[in-house]
Amino acid sequence: MSTVSWRSIGASVIGTSHEASGSECQDSHLCNEVHTDQGPVLLALVSDGAGSATKSAIGSRLICDVLFDKVLSFFQEAGKINDLNSRLIASWIQFFRDEVILQAAADGLTEREYACTLVGAIVGEQVAVFFQVGDGAIVYSTVPGAPPSLAFWPDRGEYENTTFFVTQASFMDQLQFSLVQERVADIALLSDGLQRLALDYKSRTPYHPFFSGLFGPLRRTSRERLPALNAHLADYLNSTRVNDRTDDDKTVVLATSHGEEELPQGN
């Protein structure tokens, strides 16, 4: 039986451009520990609603809800992470698309108005699955504190500030999938609003100082203090330091399977 136990935090914060226009935050996220026959499994999702789509906040919430239900059913039916593949993930996304098409028809709209991206991770004790459609990033390390790896480079469209969405009929062509047969120590998922801060575009690698500054406090914080640390994370995402570099909505989910319970909360 797995002995992995995760601690996690996550926040979605509205961008200054959306605040100025009076629109809502169009990002959504989800991070849960799912109990399975093989032990605890971490499910983490981030979805970024397209700024040009009127119902994208609904789309981003719906994709997270649908995938959560699908993952729960998968493990309740004795599924194993090693059984996951791109076709199965695609079938879950297609179920979401079918729901969106029905909702769009009821609203007198097209599914494009619910456009959103997706980054996701399903992580067990010695194996992890990563999947992505569009931009955003999944960053992980197999050794606590070591320089992290990037699962996929953010998938951009043909032009600047364009990408691909799970609402597109052709989403399967852009679905990136990876099965990693290693124990994951730390993992972060983020929306594209944080890419310029979190990624080195020249080397196409994660920017290590950005992530070490986030994971250090998470490892040192007791579980009882995680809600306070979560509030600090939201404050950081809404700080002048971050908003001076991006006016977009910002989401990050952080999880670690390594911690020091007895140490006081980090600054």
What H or E segment, with its residue span, contains residue 27? strand 27-36
CB-CB neighbours of 208 under 10 Å: 15
Residue 18 pLDDT: 87
- DSSP codes joined into one string, 222-267: -GGGHHHHHHHHHHHHTSHHHHTT--S-EEEEEEES---TTSPPP-
Please give the sequence-ordered ranges of beta strands (E in DSSP) within the chain, or none if there are none: 7-13, 27-36, 39-48, 118-123, 128-133, 137-141, 149-150, 176-180, 186-190, 199-200, 205-206, 250-256
For residues 14 and 249, the answer to whether their CB atoms sit within 8 Å is yes
Q: Which residues pair with 47 in a beta bridge?
A: 28
| DSSP class of 117 | -
Residue 260 pLDDT: 53
Nearest residue to 53 via CA among 77, 18, 20, 12: 18
Per-residue pLDDT of the chain (267 residues; tens, 9 = 90+): 456 689 999 999 999 998 888 889 999 999 999 999 889 999 999 999 998 899 999 999 999 999 999 999 999 999 999 999 999 999 999 999 999 999 999 999 999 999 999 999 999 999 999 999 999 999 999 988 788 999 999 977 544 456 899 999 999 999 999 999 999 999 999 999 999 999 999 999 999 999 999 999 999 999 999 999 999 999 999 999 999 999 999 999 999 987 554 333 333
**What is the residue extent of each domain of the chain?**
7-256
Q: CA-to-CA distance for 181 and 62, rounded, in angstroms?
A: 30
The model carries a pTM of 0.92
What is the dotted CATH code of the domain comprising 7-256?
A: 3.60.40.10
Q: Are strands 205-206 and 199-200 parallel, antiparallel or unpaired?
A: antiparallel
Rounded to the nearest angstrom, the gap between the alpha carbon of residue 241 and the centroid of all alpha carbons in its chain is 22
